Amino acid sequence: MQITIFVNATKLRYICFMGIIRKTKSVEVLLGEFKVGAGAIAAITLIERLGSTLNKTTIYRVLDKLEEDGVLHSFLGKNGLKWYAKCNGCTSGEHHDVHPHFQCLNCGKVDCLTVNVPIPNIPNRKVNVSQILLQGECEECFV
């Protein structure tokens, strides 16, 4: 089943293969934060931005649900902060967002990178999750 949500005239797809997705205000508000740009947003930033609209527990609950459903993916950034970004072609059954992220040490901007970083096959091991965070200076700070 595929549900399309419109947030401020921006079309965002919310895909789920199990159960019924409720189009709640909290889902719309959170998805609206991801409507522009390819950048990632820290959970703490979402709480700061949306704290007057949604409580912290609701924000974390909706983020977890959107991640479970393949709408968002998460990774750990500098200082162990959890970041979220839009998924590309993921489903509730499988995440395909195996890519590195870049965090600027000057301005703090975090992006999903479209470069391929191969994950090696390790004898007698199965890699289920991999997180690669590259840190340095972004295109705006690197002058």
* 103, β-bridge pairs: 110, 135
Q: What is the pLDDT of residue 46?
A: 95
Element housing 45 (H / E): helix 43-50
Q: What is the pLDDT of residue 18?
A: 40
Give residue-wise pLDDT tens across range 59-85: 999 999 999 888 899 999 888 899 999
Report in angstroms the alpha-carbon separations of 101 from 17, 47, 117: 28, 22, 11
Given a cut of 50, the residues of the chain with pLDDT beneath it are: 1-20
User: Where exactly are the structural domains of the chain?
Assistant: 2-136
* Architecture per CATH, 2-136: Orthogonal Bundle (1.10)
Q: What is the pLDDT of residue 39?
A: 78
Q: What is the pLDDT of residue 37?
A: 64
Residue 46 three-state SS: helix
User: HSE (CB half, 13 Å, CA atoms) of 97?
Assistant: 25
Query: At residue 48, what are phi and psi to the nearest 5 degrees?
Result: -65, -45
